[in-house]
């Protein structure tokens, strides 16, 4: 039987294969956590840095964070999704990487990560 770590590693490849479909669905479906993200953003210092782990294609979360004047560093394992981030929001920082092991050596005012 495969280990949990091995199964988790397989998810990254699966996620990349369906990255554009996932992004399209994420942008098309109603965004129910918008009130929470807006509240979260209002509690942070203006212009503050936020780390978004599992940022997807930047929309809708990073888009909302930057609309509040925050600076986003997004990390996602999908090169396709990071390329969408760079196209949509070139003035933010986007990193291809596994959020389970990212070590940036810097401080952020807040970190967002999927449950």
- How many domains, the chain? 1
Query: 58 is in which domain, residue-wise?
Result: 4-112
pLDDT computed for residue 9 by the predictor:
75
SS3 track for the chain: CCCHHHHHHHHHHHHHHCHHHHHHHHHHCCCCCHHHHHHHHHCCCCCCEEEEECCCCCCCHHHHHHHCCCEEEEEECCHHHHHHHHHHCCCCEEEECCCCCCCCCCCCCEEECCC
Q: What is the CATH number of the domain that holds 103?
A: 3.40.50.150
Mean pLDDT of the chain: 93
pLDDT at 96 over 90: yes
- Band of residue 78 on the pLDDT scale cut at 50, 70, 90: very high
pTM of the predicted protein model: 0.90
């Amino acid at each position: 039987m495969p280990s949990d770590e091995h199964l988790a590693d397989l998810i990254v490849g699966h996620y990349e294969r369906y990255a554009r479909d996932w992004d399209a669905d994420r942008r098309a479906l109603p965004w129910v956590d918008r009130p929470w993200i807006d509240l979260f953003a209002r509690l942070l210092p203006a212009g503050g840095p936020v780390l978004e782990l599992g940022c997807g294609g930047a929309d809708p979360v990073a888009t909302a964070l930057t609309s509040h004047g925050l600076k986003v560093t997004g990390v996602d394992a999908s090169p396709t999704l990071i390329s969408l981030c760079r196209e949509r929001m070139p003035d933010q920082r986007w990193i291809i990487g596994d959020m389970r092991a990212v070590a940036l050596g810097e401080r952020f005012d807040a970190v967002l990560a999927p449950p």
